[in-house]
Each structure stands twice: as C-alpha cells, then as structure tokens.
Amino acid sequence: MRYLITSIALFLFSSCSLQTTKGLLEQKSEKEFVINPYFANTAIDYIYKAKITINDNKFGGILIVKKIKDNQHRVVFTTEFGNKIFDFEFIDNEFKVNYILDKINKKIILNALKKDFHLLVSESNLIETMYLIDDETLYQSKLNKKYNYYFISNENSLLKKIVMTSKNKEKLCITFSEIEKNIAKNIRMTHQNFNMNIDLIYINN
C-alpha cells in the first residue's frame, strides 16, 4: 500500500512539473532585467511577410510592428492588397483593438493574439530566477499572469527563444533566427494547446 501511495505521488509530481525547467537548478541572476531588443527602435518600421493559421482559417499578408514611443507599440496585419485583418495597440499594460476582422473576432482568439503580441513586443522584463542549460542561460520572468522563459545564447548573448507557460504547461513558443543588427528576420510563434501558429519573414525596407 505504501509503495502504491509513493508511486501515485511521484506520478502526480512528474505530471505537474514544467518541462521547460525539468531537472534544472534555480540560480540567482546578477541582472535585474532580461531584454528583448527586436522591436525596440522607434526609427524602424518592422515589416514582415506573415502567415497566420487560426483553427481552419489561414491568412497571408503583411505584418507591421511599430514602436511609437517607450512602452507603446502598434501591430497591424493586412492582406497584400492592404485590407486590414487586425490592428492592435499596446500602451504599457493596456491593450487597444483598433480593428479586427469579424471572422476572427472571438474572445478566445483575441485573447491569444493579445498575449502573443504583447509578449513579442515587451522589451524589459523583470527576472525572477535563472537557470543554466549547456550553452544557454534561461531567465524566468512574468507577464499577464503567465511565466515566460527567455533563452539567451552564451556565445553571442542573443535572445533565441521565449516560452510562455502556466505553472505546469508550456503554452506558446516563440523562436527567433537569422538575427542581424537587433532584427530577427525569421520568427515562428507556435501554440501548444491551441491551433494557432504565426510565421514571420522580415522584409528589408
């Protein structure tokens, strides 16, 4: 009986543990903030060719991210013909919907888009703890009541990935590649528990 109780307890513990940090030891960070530099320059219009899949709906077009001033970003997604699909603004922790296509104007979709793009453009994030993983340093932060993990390369100090989680499950993974002059030319945003994926390819302008 004691063996059965122990086995159940071990199963419950392992099933609730977060895969992102499983087996890693917490360490104290010497830094206070982890920085996402990819949408931080007010002089740049960040323009991407975008493919967005939401359930059975597929959209292709142009995504523009603009930092208007400190703690204010605008995110606009249009078709290649210029028709708006959505138009959002993030001002500090406030979220404003300037426009969203009726087809995707559903609470669950809007909430996911809000969290995804807020995480994408959030620049300075308070570090709660850190972990070391081979050639990367992993910083834990928090935004919108979710835990966010920032994977920083030890070789070149570049932000390579952000993973958004609940206490025990990964929710969203954002990967950055082909990084040059603080611009990530390829970005992929993949949900683990919801059928929505976003692929972005930078357009030089």
* CB-based contact 67:169 (threshold 8 Å): no
* pLDDT value, residue 3: 44
- The predicted pLDDT at position 146 comes to 83
Q: Cβ neighbours of residue 72 under 8 Å, at least 6 residues apart? A: 89, 90, 91, 92
CA distance 150 to 163: 7
The pLDDT value given to residue 204: 78
Q: Where are the domains of the chain?
A: 18-202
Fold that domain 18-202 belongs to in CATH: outer membrane lipoprotein receptor (LolB), chain A (2.50.20)
What pLDDT is attached to residue 148? 95
- Predicted confidence at residue 186, as pLDDT, reads 98
pLDDT means per 10 residues, the chain with 205 residues, are: 42 55 88 95 97 93 96 95 95 93 94 95 94 92 88 95 90 96 96 93 87
Residue 88: per-residue pLDDT:
98
pTM of the model: 0.88
Collapse the DSSP code of 39 into the 3-class scheme (helix H, G, I; strand E, B; otherwise coil) and give the result.
Answer: coil
